[in-house]
Amino acid sequence: MKFLHDLWRSQSEFVRTFGAMTLFFFQLLRYSPSTLVRRFSLVVAQIFNAGALSIVIIMVSGLFVGGVLGLQAFANLERFNAEEATGILAGFALVKEIGPVITALLFAGRAGTALTSEIGLMKATDQLSAMEMMAVNPMQRVFVPRFLGGIIAMPLLTAVFTMVGLLGAHLVAVELLDVDVGAYWQQLQQAMELDDVYEGITKSIVFGFVASLIAVWEGYNSVPTPEGVGRATTRTVVSTAIAVLILDFMITAYLL
Amino acid sequence: MRQNRAVELGTGLFILLGIGALFFLTTQTTGRNDFTNTDVYSVQARFENVGSLKKRAPVAMSGVTIGRVTGIEFDGEALEAVVTMVIDSRFNHIPDDSDASILTAGLLGSQYVGLQAGGSEFYLENGGEISFTQSAIVLENLIGRFLVKGRADE
Amino acid sequence: MTFHRGAITSIMGPSGTGKTTLLRLIARQLHPDRGHILIDGVDVAGLSQSGLYALRKRIGMLFQNGALLTDLSVFENVAFPLRAHTRLGERLIRLVVLTKLHAVGLRGAADLMPSELSGGMARRVALARAIVMDPDILIYDEPFVGLDPISMGVIVRLIRRLNDTLGISSIVVSHDLKEIAAVSDQSFLLSDGAAVASGSPEELKQNDTEMVRQFMHGLPDGPVAFHYEAPDYSQQLLDQGTP
């Protein structure tokens, strides 16, 4: 009986949190246009925080992920004498799946945690209350710029990751393993349609919304103590990872 | 104020890099559309079977790409596939009795249209049609024919 | 409870009796479950969003830790309400901000970031920010906590001086008896969410209700028990032995 009661409580708590998060999401959307127009400089600062500061980790990761894809693709295709298809394999993997997904995961780890802890800290040190007391809506001053910054940064980060990844695969396959450079790119270009690139971009846009929403929400919803902020930061990474992977499956299934 | 400038500069660089990467992805990884801007003329060819030929597949003559496939449709009347392709107008001396066949690049590679020059004195023009065609080789049919032949020999 | 215009009213009480809650109710960061809060005769609970924001522009609040915005410099922190609510030119903003910073003695710190300030300085900057819109009401949440004696003396003097020179009504929440006695005109003592006594600090000292006596004289045991609620001591010790 107690078990059932606990189960019911945790379930209803989950549903309640989900509902609160949805309402928060609508609030963010509602204030987005006015924030974009009137407080554009704040949005720019957040694009810098979420995007420009993540560029190094994105590029380094992209280079090596691309490189390892090139290695694996080559090693397996070599058995069929089809090394030239390395470009196809690495390219498709990067553009459609690995680029958007890994970028979103890295984003959660680098920018998402920073957002959550920053907002959590602002909450813990009464900065949000102080803003309300000064009759400034924290929605426009704090939450929406961070949300929009993440949304704008994600597709760009994904594009950079994918491009650097292709370069990494190119370096390994062409420079290291002597795949013909013409064959590498030509096969890729012939196999890949614009729709495949759009699929990757669609994913990155969806992931941008989800990852930014989760990061900002967890900060907003955090318990305003050092311990609470720490836990919220952890939750950001976990929730984002799960949400991104589930959504990735759903989008892929839908678009196929 | 100086810090602000650094932020703006960093953001600008980041956005330019991102847009550059997007541009790279949409243009460099997909089939190059280098036959859409230049002067081209389009011709049609009817095939019994196009196999897995796709839009933007190359059209090659003597192994050199001279054009692209721009459309593959099915003619419900004649029950044939109609392949539309564009050819660079620099190559305007292709005899109109040339022969088009659907070939495969390598064993597992993608398919393309190969043109074999004929002997006519008239050349292909915009809107023209290649009448001699050879369908794609479908592996299953080939194997099937082998089996039938083998059985007949017994 | 009534807070008088132009006076410094302090709210005292043991931890957890609802002092901060009371402040948040006044500023309507919280909604009252029962009862009403009237400011100039207007019930704050019935205000619309814009009415509330209009009210808040008339209230300055000093938070426990200052609550300076960490991504802005001291100057920008003080200028923040001005930029948000007025259309003053850059030169006028500069003038106002420097005047207010001068009033708290930190004009020289204008270009520092909040992380570079000591606790007492941060609170003085926050005070400058609280008065930059020339509010009618100033609310101080635990302004004396965690300060060294010098900073504390500075804050006490500032509270008194600002109240008298600007004609502000001040509300101070604290449990530092000495400082409260130094600044306040009237005090309330809260216990369990209700005001149990009021009067000037001297009057409260004379008050011989048990609760007031315990608080004013710092007695360890009384209505606020020394022991947290627990089962009988000897009973619990003996229980430990038997599994």
Kindly state the average pLDDT of the residues B51-60.
81
Residue for token digits 């720490």?
A230
Interval C88-144: pLDDT, tens: 888 888 888 888 888 888 888 888 888 888 888 888 888 888 888 888 888 888 888
Contacts of B32 in chain A (CB under 8 A): 189
Interface of B with A in 47-76 (CB under 8 A): 54, 56-58
Instruction: Inspect the interface and report whether the beta carbons of B57 and A190 lie closer than 8 Å.
Output: yes
How confident is the model at residue A119, as a pLDDT? 93
Kindly state the average pLDDT of the residues C26-44.
76
Residue A112 lies in a domain: yes
Helices (H) then strands (E): counts for chain C: 10, 8
How confident is the model at residue B109, as a pLDDT? 66
Does A222 or C192 have the greater pLDDT score?
A222
Interval C175-207: pLDDT, tens: 777 777 777 788 887 777 677 777 777 777 777
Q: How close A91 comes to chain B (CA, Å)?
A: 8
H or E element at residue C25: helix C19-26
pLDDT at residue A185 above 60?
yes
Kindly state the average pLDDT of the residues B88-102.
85
Residue A2 lies in a domain: no
Cβ C214 vs Cβ C177: under 8 Å: no
Interval A188-199: pLDDT, tens: 887 787 888 889
What confidence tier does B2 reach under pLDDT thresholds 50, 70, 90? very low
Residue A191 lies in a domain: yes
In chain C, the domains with their CATH numbers are 8-241 (3.40.50.300)
Q: How close A135 comes to chain C (CA, Å)?
A: 5
* Low-confidence winner among A238-252, B44-58, B133-147 (lowest mean pLDDT): B133-147
Contacts of B7 in chain A (CB under 8 A): 44-45, 48
Residue A9 lies in a domain: no
Cβ A127 vs Cβ A17: under 8 Å: no
Quote the mean pLDDT of chain A: 89
- Dist. CA C152–CA C171, nearest whole Å: 17
How confident is the model at residue B31, as a pLDDT? 62
Kindly state the average pLDDT of the residues A79-100.
87
Q: How close A127 comes to chain C (CA, Å)?
A: 5
Instruction: Inspect the interface and report whether the beta carbons of B31 and A200 lie closer than 8 Å.
Output: no
pTM for the structure as a whole: 0.77
Instruction: Inspect the interface and report whether the beta carbons of B31 and A156 lie closer than 8 Å.
Output: no
ipTM of the complex: 0.77
How confident is the model at residue B107, as a pLDDT? 62
Tally Cβ neighbours within 10 Å of residue B93. Answer: 8
B106 inside 8 A of chain A by CB: yes
Q: How far is CA A48 from CA A42, B68, C76, C109, C126, in A?
A: 10, 42, 20, 28, 28
Q: How far is CA C160 from CA C48, C135, C169, C216, in A?
A: 33, 15, 11, 22
Kindly state the average pLDDT of the residues A162-183.
89
Helix (H, G, I), strand (E, B) or coil at A171: helix
- Dist. CA B49–CA B60, nearest whole Å: 19
Cβ A111 vs Cβ A10: under 8 Å: no
Q: Whose CA is closest to C139, among C70, C212, C216, C37?
A: C37
Domain encompassing residue A156: 41-255
How confident is the model at residue B42, as a pLDDT? 87
Cβ B92 vs Cβ B84: under 8 Å: no
**How many folded domains does chain A comprise?**
1
Q: Whose CA is closest to B111, among B43, B68, B54, B35?
A: B54
- Interface test with chain A among B1, B5, B29, by most A beta carbons within 10 Å: B29
How confident is the model at residue A242, as a pLDDT? 95
Helix (H, G, I), strand (E, B) or coil at C88: coil
What confidence tier does B36 reach under pLDDT thresholds 50, 70, 90? low
Interval C62-85: pLDDT, tens: 887 778 888 888 888 888 888 888
Range with the largest mean pLDDT of A42-56, B2-16, C209-223: A42-56
- Dist. CA A224–CA A232, nearest whole Å: 10
What confidence tier does B1 reach under pLDDT thresholds 50, 70, 90? very low
